[in-house]
Every structure is written in structure tokens, then in C-alpha cells.
């Protein structure tokens, strides 16, 4: 046994012993001679380890001893333990178990007030990660989709199909059904789409898509948080300037340059030019992967070109064609066609 190992074992035995321990008992516990014990204690004292000795009674180690002495404050110890705790809690990290062992040893060595700080930041025993707290309701929340086939609900329908999660559809006819007290309790605007996810109610198509992308991250329909600039920009560009400009144009309202200053949409042609530049030569509008932003923008462009409210610019056609091969979109289109067939 190396002397380094012997010194470490000596400290551990003294930390674990309640009260003083005699020299012979300490030597026996370590499996060394009394002479070696005296030499080791002298070596520890030489580097600043405080070991008290009362003749005829035994040795006792001062609380909070580390070798070499660290002289850290309580806050610094908390910071150290917090970092170790994060490594320990990441079971995929190669140093996870080692970090847990270090935390245990630091806890044993700390004075009482330091130990309380370590407990506050998670050193206490935790239940397994796959065992939820007893007071947490783990039942799946029902997802209800309120829509009409001839509405912006088609945007949310496509989003739901992309998620691949169970949901219940409530189809509402225009008129009294959307203005009924029951539905107005869901959306006081009396419009679709809306969703209810457990006790949460969300309205407005772009907001619903953003919510669902975050609520079901396994579907991968939102970029990582650090890469969401374009994602948020085009999600709400479609919901704001694009919808606003198209709505005014459909009503025959053509704002003057002075009036355009007061509108978030400005004028329709600037909006369309901006969107043309965003999708030109791109398969996806926000990064290199398909996202909820493509669902919202693609739905508006596809619907608008179909009904003639958006011109069939080559950039728009190419972008929408790149989205047509998605099975979820095909299922939504079949749903709309089926709903429209009795009207034909």
C-alpha cells in the first residue's frame, strides 16, 4: 500500500469515527503499526491537517478537513457541488458516477453548515429518474382539436398529423355552433381553430403550432432554442403581415402610402416580395429541416394560390411542391376533399 493511499485511508477512518479513537485502535483499523501511524499523523499535520490528540484518550480530526486545505467559502463549496451535481445527474456522461463519489466524499468532510448547503443543491438521495413524484399526475392529457374543414384549422390539422399523437376532432359548422356558449368558453372570438390540451386552451393557428411543437418535442418540429430566429420570424410573419395584407386586399381595401405606415403589413406587394425572397431556392424556410414554420407558411401559400388570393410566383410554387411529399399533408388534403365532396 502506498503512503498516499494510507494517508487517505487514515483520514477516512477518522471522519467515520464518532468521537476520539485511540492510537492502537486506529492502527488496527488501518492494518499498520503504531510507528507508521505516528509517522502518518505527523505528515498530515505538517501540511496543515488539524488532528487533535489527548493522551490516554485518542485522536480526533477537525471537521471540514481537506488535503491540501482549500480554504473555500460556503458559497464556493456550493458552486463546486452544483457543478459536480450536474455531471452526476447526467447519466450519459462518462464522469457521472465519479462526480457522485466526489460529492459523497466532500459531504463527509464538510462542517455541518456546509453540509446543509450541499443538501440544498441536490446531494440528498433522489428517486430514480423514471419514478415520478407521488403527487404528479402522469395520466396523458386529452388533446381536442376544434375546426372546420374550410378554415385555418387546416394549418393545425397538418401540424397534428405531423406530430403523430392521439387527438380528438370536434368539427363545428359556421354560424350558431361556433357562437354557442360551450364553444365561446373555449374561444370567446367564436372562431376556429382552437385546441384544448388537458386544462390548457390555445387559439390562433400559429400560436397553436408553436405550442404543439414545444409540447411534443420528440416530433422535432421546432429547431433548438438557440436556432429559432428564422423559425419565429416566419411563423409570425405569416400570421401577421401576410394574413393582414391578404385580408385587406380580399376586401378591396388598398391602403395609401400614408395609411400603410399605420399598418404592420405595409402593402401587399412588399409582403409578397419579402416572402418570395425568403423561400427562393429553399426547401425549408427556417434552417435545413422541416418545422412548424413550414406548416404555417406552406399552408398560407398553398391555400392562397389555390383560391387566387396569392399569385403563383415560381418561388412559391417550387416551395409548396417541396412540401407535397409529406404524408401528413396528404392526409389533411384527403380530409378536406371528403368534406367538400357533398358540396360538389
- pLDDT value, residue 76: 66
What Cα–Cα distance (Å) separates residue 209 from each residue in 94, 113, 217, 295?
A: 37, 49, 12, 8
Cell numbers 486506529: residue: 26
Helix axes of 205-215 and 292-307: crossing angle, nearest 10 degrees = 150
Residues 232 and 285 in one domain: yes
Asked if the structure places residue 265 within a domain, the reply is yes
Q: What's 14's domain CATH number?
A: 1.10.10.10
User: DSSP code of 227?
Assistant: G
Grid cell at residue 282: 429553399
Q: What's 197's domain CATH number?
A: 3.40.30.10
Given 199, 219, 239, the domain boundary residue is 219
Asked if the structure places residue 27 within a domain, the reply is yes
Asked if the structure places residue 132 within a domain, the reply is no
Q: What is the pLDDT along the chain (344 residues), one digit of tens a residue?
A: 666 777 778 878 887 776 788 888 888 888 888 888 888 888 777 767 788 887 777 888 776 555 545 555 666 666 776 777 677 766 566 676 677 667 666 665 555 555 555 554 444 444 455 555 555 556 689 999 999 999 999 999 999 999 999 999 999 999 999 999 999 999 999 999 999 999 999 999 999 999 999 999 999 999 999 999 999 999 999 999 999 999 999 999 999 999 999 999 999 999 999 999 999 999 999 999 999 999 999 999 999 999 999 999 999 999 999 999 999 999 998 888 887 776 65
Number of domains the chain contains:
4
Residues 162 and 215 in one domain: yes
- Which residues constitute the domain of residue 188? 143-219
Asked if the structure places residue 134 within a domain, the reply is no
Residues 306 and 239 in one domain: yes
- SS3 letters for 178-213? HHCHHHHCCCCCCCCCEEEECCEEEECHHHHHHHHH
- pLDDT value, residue 124: 45
CA-closest candidate to residue 193, choices 245, 142, 158, 243: 158
Cell numbers 448547503: residue: 117
Alpha helices in the chain (DSSP H): 3-16, 23-30, 34-46, 74-89, 96-109, 112-118, 153-163, 181-184, 205-215, 229-237, 243-250, 257-260, 268-279, 292-307, 314-321, 327-340
Asked if the structure places residue 133 within a domain, the reply is no
- pLDDT value, residue 22: 86
Grid cell at residue 61: 480530526
Asked if the structure places residue 230 within a domain, the reply is yes
Residues 239 and 212 in one domain: no
Residues 34 and 114 in one domain: no
Given 121, 155, 189, the domain boundary residue is 121
Asked if the structure places residue 309 within a domain, the reply is yes
Amino acid at each position: 500500500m502506498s503512503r498516499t493511499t494510507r494517508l487517505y485511508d487514515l483520514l477516512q477512518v477518522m471522519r467515520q469515527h464518532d468521537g476520539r479513537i485511540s492510537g492502537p485502535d486506529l492502527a488496527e483499523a488501518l492494518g499498520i503499526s503504531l510507528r507508521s501511524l505516528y509517522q502518518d499523523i505527523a505528515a498530515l499535520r505538517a501540511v496543515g491537517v488539524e488532528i487533535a490528540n489527548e493522551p490516554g484518550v485518542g485522536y480526533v480530526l477537525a471537521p471540514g478537513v481537506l488535503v491540501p486545505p482549500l480554504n473555500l467559502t460556503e458559497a464556493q463549496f456550493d458552486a463546486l457541488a452544483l457543478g459536480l451535481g450536474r455531471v452526476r445527474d447526467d447519466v450519459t456522461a462518462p464522469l457521472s458516477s465519479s462526480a457522485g463519489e466526489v460529492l459523497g466524499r466532500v459531504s463527509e468532510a464538510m462542517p455541518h453548515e456546509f453540509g446543509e448547503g450541499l443538501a440544498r443543491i441536490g446531494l440528498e438521495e433522489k428517486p430514480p429518474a423514471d419514478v415520478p413524484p407521488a403527487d404528479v399526475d402522469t395520466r396523458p392529457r386529452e388533446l381536442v382539436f376544434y375546426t372546420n374543414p374550410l378554415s385555418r384549422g387546416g394549418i393545425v390539422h397538418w401540424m397534428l398529423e405531423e406530430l403523430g399523437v392521439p387527438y380528438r376532432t370536434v368539427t363545428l359548422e359556421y354560424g350558431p355552433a361556433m357562437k354557442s356558449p360551450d364553444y365561446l368558453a373555449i374561444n370567446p372570438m367564436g372562431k376556429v381553430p382552437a385546441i384544448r390540451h388537458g386544462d390548457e386552451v390555445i387559439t390562433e393557428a400559429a400560436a397553436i403550432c408553436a405550442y404543439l411543437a414545444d409540447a411534443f418535442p420528440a416530433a422535432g418540429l421546432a429547431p433548438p432554442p438557440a436556432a429559432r430566429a428564422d423559425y419565429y420570424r416566419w411563423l409570425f410573419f405569416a400570421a401577421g403581415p401576410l394574413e393582414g395584407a391578404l385580408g385587406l386586399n380580399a376586401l378591396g381595401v388598398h391602403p395609401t402610402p400614408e395609411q400603410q405606415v399605420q399598418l404592420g403589413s405595409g402593402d401587399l406587394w412588399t409582403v409578397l416580395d419579402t416572402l418570395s425572397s425568403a423561400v427562393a431556392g429553399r426547401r425549408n424556410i427556417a434552417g435545413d429541416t422541416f418545422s412548424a414554420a413550414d406548416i404555417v407558411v406552406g399552408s398560407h401559400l398553398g391555400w392562397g394560390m389555390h383560391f387566387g388570393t396569392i399569385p403563383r410566383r415560381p418561388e412559391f410554387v417550387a416551395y409548396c411542391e417541396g412540401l407535397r411529399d409529406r404524408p401528413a399533408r396528404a392526409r389533411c388534403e384527403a380530409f378536406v376533399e371528403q368534406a367538400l365532396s357533398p358540396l360538389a
